Amino acid sequence: MLLSQQDVLKLGMGAGNETAVAEFILEGFSGLDQRLQLFLSLILLLMYLTTLTGNTMIIFLVCVDHRLQTPMYFFISNLAFLEIWFTSSTTIKLLVILSSGRRTISLKSCFAQSYFYVALGFTEFALLVVMSFDRYVAICQPLHYAAIMKQQLCTHLVVAAWVLGFTLLSYRLVLLSKLTFCGPNKIQHFFCDSSPLFKLSCSDTTLLWKADSILISFVVLGSLCLIMVSYMCIFHCILHMPSASGRRKAFATCSSHLTALAIVYGSCIVLYARPSEGVSLETNTIVALLNTVLYPFLNPFIYSLRNKTVKLALEEALGRPKVWLFPRS
């Protein structure tokens, strides 16, 4: 006896944990005109390539130039490596969507994207805490800096950040793999973010919602508090510096760092540390772009490429006189 398509679907949905949805459709920016989508894709491609080039350059310079083989640049090179993967986890698919209109993504790819996006984000928060501690010791305890920030401690801190970021999210893969999706299959975003993905599941996602909410709030707000404590101590030390020029230089460096932190933490608090019902789809999309595209794009310039030592190392690596690449006014 031949079965109709509806009968087959019903049987499939009733057979254990089988899911009727084989792929999702990412609906982010679908309301834009096609020419606007193409224009946006060109801008994002330029920013993405700049992000890759800048972060790769930082990693290369730290590896080959002995002047940059210090704890601060060791942490910055790890942050640069992380940013390459973090922005790639969402931007590549976004460029495909905007340039070709191919919006489908398989279940496994969607789950993997969701996992790596959050895991890399957690790792970044841990690295930012480590970097703020490094700056605190360098500014407030300069005579003890070499004794405290030894290579072994720096390596342990970086490894701990990576391991912590990925192991904290191991529960996610297990719980995601148990979800069933019976339709619809349209995700109202340009990547597989948690909230729109969970809303499509016909399984009970209460445990995932609670676990994500508690863990994300703890990591985001906890790391933010630690960073703010470090910077308050740094500002206290800066105010007691005898040199006015030293105070200005330290304040300028810290203000640029705090600007970058405001972007990443502000976007995460808007997206994840408040009820999703209070945030519109358009706001979610724009804020997510700040987090996934703009922040990784700005990082090389904020943390490294404005530094005189990095500029000198880059000019020497390119084999050009200083005035050719970075003319002085």
pLDDT at 275: 52
**Residue 45: both structure tokens together:** 């491609």
Q: What is the largest CA-CA distance in the chain?
A: 91
pTM (predicted TM-score) = 0.85
* Tens-digit pLDDT profile for residues 169-217: 887 788 888 888 887 889 888 999 888 888 888 888 888 888 888 888 8
Residue 199: per-residue pLDDT: 85
Q: Which tokens go with 137?
A: 């010791």
pLDDT tens string 123-182: 999 999 999 999 999 888 888 999 999 999 999 999 999 999 898 888 778 888 888 888
**What is the predicted pLDDT for the residue at 17?**
44
**How many other C-beta atoms are found inside a 10 Å radius of the C-beta of residue 203?**
16
How much is the average pLDDT of 20-31?
85
Give me the percent of the chain exceeding a pLDDT of 90. Answer: 37
pLDDT one-digit tens code per residue, 238-268 = 888 877 777 777 777 787 788 888 888 988 8
How many Cα atoms within 13 Å fall on the side-chain side of residue 117? 21
